[in-house]
Structure 1
């Protein structure tokens, strides 16, 4: 099905969604941000504040609280950029929304509209296929921060990040993917289109397994040996499952060619990643069940154990429920809890 995107509806306007939506808006593409709470209030009142190594701007991007405030058309593209633990509810919310054309309803979003899953982990794509017929996976390398309502910080340059795109299953939606990639490139992203996006997502999953360690101990907490043990266990599980993973050298070369980290004026350089940000904001939920927990799930399906990843997921889950802040425990305490 040929499809020329007209408007990007970005569901989850936090660090990733706000960065993607803000950059697309700057590139002249129609964008609507979907947010909630104080973040939505500030977006509506003041616009999106986008801070980068060389910018500090406010963007007048339309923002809504949900599908009841929009009339979807066949030329809309839905970009899901929530955390993975939130995406199932978001998919369910949007799947049955009516799509309008020529003054009439022509079908549902789930039947007609493409969805792009711009979030960590490897579970969102299979979730999305339960409700949507057209799914494109996105492997997200985007060093961005969302700690303050109405504000997103991008720390990468010269491009803002790297977003590999690929349909699920592979080989479909090629015209759509090419068009979206061109829009993202106009918005200062590197947007490769591999034959199969999932090996890239599994490689990114491995990189994200240390997120929970950073969230517990704090940025720069000296968890390198713990991370190596957790990642080593994960690689053994993925190998046993026969899951293809993009080689480290290929991934590192692609990322180095796309962007490097830069200082953003007024922003400390030791701000952590997505799970660190969730604990810092006190959201009460974290995505590690779909990162380290994904490794445990795969292992259990093989009749194996992945004790390091399972225990780490549990530690972060409990920390989130308690409202624990990053740095509340030491690397030695985490090592003991993991049995290392």
Structure 2
């Protein structure tokens, strides 16, 4: 099995490096300065045990890969890039290549299934950072993260089991699950906090995530969508993950915080808080907190705003205004 890691940022870079370090065949797809740095010097991965330089094979486009027919694509791009990379992938990859979505959000698998018949979802629990070209940081040790996997929309097959085994061999705890999307919905509810931390610098402890999550619970109930209970998800993570310290690399903000810190031209919020806003509009459930967070995150990207630059009082004021506008 040859792994093609499409998107070698924080998650893709760490997962690709761990697979390579444990003897698996890996080719990464990256872009820009990050592509140039990895091609020239390898991928530098920092973790609580030290630092290693991993000589990953890397290309800038799937057309540069010699597709042999034994590949598994690990899709690790942000959700807002999924449609475009699937378009590029479908032009050159075998029709039956397994596409595995190691992504936040719940719509990536559906998009992939439009193009490819064998699609898998992965619930990712892995604290990682990518803030400079050629470098990624992983904060859990000795287990690097949890990557539970299942076929989309449901079920388990031999491919899912084989991928889970490869992850397990590579310090990435993985179970093959028949109900993977229930786990991904729970992860999405957790990710509703990303925009809070990106905007205010305080991801938890303000009461805002609880309000955003309550909106999500109401939307999922109205839509008839089942998510794994929070306690079950917490138990899975805590059973295997230990957070460590990496010298010179404090624990980062969320992936959305990192997008603002890198001055990325876009952010994933439309596929996180925006997913709840969409459900609310479809089923008549008010979502003032998630609506405000979605708008604010996009405004920060458009204006080049820094992470943590919005006072909490300003965010509360805007939420209250959205509540009044919908009553």
Tell me how far apart the structure 2 counterparts of residues 222 and 239 of structure 1 sit (CA, whole Å): 24
For residues 212-239 of structure 1, give each alpha carbon's deviation from its aligned partner in whole angstroms, at most 9, with x where no partner exists: 0000011x46653111111111111111
Change (3 A) 1:217 1:30: same
Tell me how far apart the structure 2 counterparts of residues 75 and 43 of structure 1 sit (CA, whole Å): 24
Q: Secondary structure at the match of 2:199?
A: helix
Matched, 1:137 2:121: yes
Change (3 A) 1:209 1:191: same
- The answer (yes or no) to whether the contact 1:163–1:189 under 8 Å persists in 2 is yes
For residues 72-121 of structure 1, give each alpha carbon's deviation from its aligned partner in whole angstroms, at most 9, with x where no partner exists: 121001111000001110011101215xxxxxxxxxx3x21000000101
How many residue pairs align between the two structures? 321
Change (3 A) 1:221 1:210: closer
Tell me how far apart the structure 1 counterparts of residues 289 and 99 of structure 2 sit (CA, whole Å): 33
Question: Which residue does the alignment assign to 2:230?
Answer: 248
Tell me how far apart the structure 1 counterparts of residues 4 and 193 of structure 2 sit (CA, whole Å): 31
Q: Which runs of 4+ in 1 moved over 6 A?
A: none
TM-score (norm 2): 0.96
Q: How many Å apart are 1:308 and its aligned residue?
A: 1.5
Question: Which residue does the alignment assign to 2:308?
Answer: 327
Tell me how far apart the structure 1 counterparts of residues 130 and 176 of structure 2 sit (CA, whole Å): 27
Structure 2 residues not aligned, in runs of 5+ = none
Question: Which residue does the alignment assign to 1:77?
Answer: 72
Question: Which residue does the alignment assign to 2:282?
Answer: 301
- Work out which of the residue numbers 182, 195, 198 in structure 1 matches 2:165: 182
For residues 145-179 of structure 1, give each alpha carbon's deviation from its aligned partner in whole angstroms, at most 9, with x where no partner exists: 0001001100012211111100013225x111111
Q: Secondary structure at the match of 2:207?
A: helix
Question: Which residue does the alignment assign to 1:263?
Answer: 245
Matched, 1:318 2:313: no
Q: How many Å apart are 1:21 and its aligned residue?
A: 0.3
Tell me how far apart the structure 2 counterparts of residues 77 and 71 of structure 1 sit (CA, whole Å): 13
- Work out which of the residue numbers 208, 225, 228 in structure 1 matches 2:191: 208
Matched, 1:151 2:135: yes
Tell me how far apart the structure 2 counterparts of residues 305 and 96 of structure 1 sit (CA, whole Å): 41
Q: Secondary structure at the match of 1:200?
A: helix
For residues 233-259 of structure 1, give each alpha carbon's deviation from its aligned partner in whole angstroms, at most 9, with x where no partner exists: 111111121111101111110000120
Alignment of 1:1-340 (within 5 A): 6-98=1-93, 109=94, 111-172=95-156, 174-218=157-201, 220=202, 223-269=205-251, 271-339=252-320
Question: Which residue does the alignment assign to 1:102?
Answer: none
- The answer (yes or no) to whether the contact 1:200–1:246 under 8 Å persists in 2 is yes
Tell me how far apart the structure 2 counterparts of residues 166 and 333 of structure 1 sit (CA, whole Å): 41
Q: How large is the Cα RMSD of the aligned pairs? A: 1.2
TM-score (norm 1): 0.92
Tell me how far apart the structure 2 counterparts of residues 291 and 13 of structure 1 sit (CA, whole Å): 21
For residues 186-221 of structure 1, give each alpha carbon's deviation from its aligned partner in whole angstroms, at most 9, with x where no partner exists: 110110112210000000001000100000011x46
Tell me how far apart the structure 2 counterparts of residues 263 and 224 of structure 1 sit (CA, whole Å): 25
Tell me how far apart the structure 2 counterparts of residues 222 and 180 of structure 1 sit (CA, whole Å): 33
Structure 1 residues not aligned, in runs of 5+ = 1-5, 99-108
Change (3 A) 1:127 1:222: closer
- The answer (yes or no) to whether the contact 2:154–2:179 under 8 Å persists in 1 is yes
